[in-house]
Structure 1
Amino acid sequence: MSSDHAGHADDSAPELSDGKPRRGWLIFLRDVVVIVVIALLVSFLVKTFLVRSFYIPSASMTQTLLVDDRILVDEITPRFGGYERGDVVVFRDPGGWLPPSPEVSRSPLVDGTDWVLSLVGLAAPDSDEHLIKRIIGLPGDHVVCCNALGQVTVNGQPIDESPYLNLPAGKTAPSPVPFDVTVPETSLWVLGDNRDNSQDSRFHLDQPGAGFVPMDNVVGRAFLITWPFDRFGLIDFRHSVFAGVPAPESAP
């Protein structure tokens, strides 16, 4: 009886030894899938509610931002703290600012890859559908171009934009494009730093939105250049340029 019992034990041993590695790999694969799913979910929530990645498709913000720079956009702070003059913001087309985009034929694999990467903020396939400019006028501000020196005035105060304007050598002010506007509530007046090469609020006065950007269209405030690495760093909002601007209610 003892011999038969030993033989029965020997017969069952390979099943146990074969089963353990298989169960171990299944548990490992399950854990990997759970980790990946959680990472994707967290990245998706961060991208949706906190931070998004965009690339710069045009030269309208040179030298502050260059074509093909990758940036991060803070979506949550403006919702609670509001905006300031000088903030650099990304926003959806208010209507008529961007030319129609031609349909580009792409393979399902490329579309799928872009979709997955966009979930975690590593791709920004919709950058061409957005614009990026600097806030010059907040709700209630009276913004005028230009005084005798070619400066924009906000609530009667001339602003020296030289710290961020991209001007050719020897030129002290952008080419004047006259406007005289008062920014409506819940809207912004925005201009590009490369003022002579920026289709901004000035050029959309005849559109239904009269050149103003509804705050509902604003995705958030750009705050960091992430690529290329030699340009990595925080974006300077140059708030000091607007330090002397009076509040709308106390403007002359």
Structure 2
Amino acid sequence: MDTEAQHTERDLPSTPQPGPERGSRSARFPALARYLEGPWRKAVALLALCLLFLLLLSHFVVQPFVIPSGSMEPTLKVGDRVLVNKLAYRFGGHPVRGDVVVFDGRGSFTDEPPEGNPVGRALRSAVASLGLRESEGNVYVKRVVGVGGDRVVCCDKGGRLQVNGTPVTEAYVYPGDTPSQVPFDIVVPDGTLFVLGDHRSRSSDSRDHLGSPGGGMVPVDHVVGRVDWIGWPVGRWAEVPGSGAFARVGAPGGPGGAHG
């Protein structure tokens, strides 16, 4: 055996050998590396781009929400996936009476802080923004019945809601429900909204928070957007129009006519 040759070889500087680096992702996860470097690479990249597009669309333009309760029946049913138009009030528009809106209830309906760690909240928010789960507990959907400056009274002698002295016939209210079993007479502060659910006997809304720190009034800048469509289930596909019930209601202290 040629020991000299072996000695000489040992004295030579080591030369890096081709192949995966120690500790590299390819060495540790060879199966994953094959997928990412093969035909799956384009599919994964395309999926990531699609998810990014949907998240951006949901954040800025239109966002799906899951209806968790029957407080807006018969207009919206439990399990409906609605599409919220987030551009409705972005360019000078503002909520008007009859609009169905989604809003953040913190400071008006609840003072509870967000739960969980920031990463968990971000993940839950991203999943909810795609309509795959219900939104956090501070998000509500209700109908606007009063805007800044309005005097909203319930009920008049005919058992109807009254806005700025004009009685309102609310055809969207759940059959058999009265406009409200709890009487109230309030003036809506500027920059806020007075909101009620269509299923009045099952809705916790502005009426229930009149004594809370926010007075049950929803700041306009807490509105996420307007509910314009029911997107799911297929049999429920429909537009969610505003209501003409308030067409005769005038501005506060003004003559009759549409407001806003």
- Measured after TM superposition, the shift of residue 116 of structure 1 is 6.2
User: What is the number of equivalent residue pairs in this alignment?
Assistant: 220
Structure 2 Cα separation of the partners of residues 159 and 115 of structure 1: 37
Q: State the TM-score, normalizing by the size of structure 1.
A: 0.76
Q: CA RMSD in A?
A: 3.1
Is 1:242 aligned to residue 254 of structure 2?
no
Summarize the Cα distance change of 1:87–1:115 in structure 2 as closer, same or farther, 3 Å threshold: closer
User: Which residue of the partner structure matches residue 107 of structure 1?
Assistant: none
Contact 1:141 1:154 in 2 (8 A): yes
Summarize the Cα distance change of 1:227–1:99 in structure 2 as closer, same or farther, 3 Å threshold: farther
Query: Looking at CA atoms only, which structure, 1 or 2, has the larger radius of gyration?
Result: 2
Q: State the TM-score, normalizing by the size of structure 2.
A: 0.74
Structure 2 Cα separation of the partners of residues 114 and 182 of structure 1: 37
Amino acid at match of 1:189: F
Contact 1:59 1:66 in 2 (8 A): yes
1:221 to 226, 242, 248: 226
Amino acid at match of 2:174: N
Structure 1 alignment gaps of length 5 or more: 1-22, 105-110
Bigger helix share = 1
Amino acid at match of 1:70: R
Structure 2 Cα separation of the partners of residues 26 and 39 of structure 1: 20
1:197 to 202, 215, 231: 202
- Measured after TM superposition, the shift of residue 33 of structure 1 is 3.3
Contact 2:229 2:237 in 1 (8 A): yes
Summarize the Cα distance change of 1:181–1:46 in structure 2 as closer, same or farther, 3 Å threshold: same
Summarize the Cα distance change of 1:98–1:62 in structure 2 as closer, same or farther, 3 Å threshold: farther
Amino acid at match of 1:72: L
Contact 2:65 2:131 in 1 (8 A): no
Contact 1:114 1:123 in 2 (8 A): no
Summarize the Cα distance change of 1:71–1:127 in structure 2 as closer, same or farther, 3 Å threshold: farther
User: Which residue of the partner structure matches residue 143 of structure 1?
Assistant: 152
Structure showing greater relative contact order (alpha-carbon pairs closer than 8 Å, 6 or more residues apart) = 1
Amino acid at match of 1:82: H
User: Which residue of the partner structure matches residue 64 of structure 1?
Assistant: 75
- Measured after TM superposition, the shift of residue 127 of structure 1 is 4.8
Is 1:91 aligned to residue 103 of structure 2?
yes
Structure 2 alignment gaps of length 5 or more: 1-33
1:43 to 42, 54, 62: 54
Amino acid at match of 1:150: G
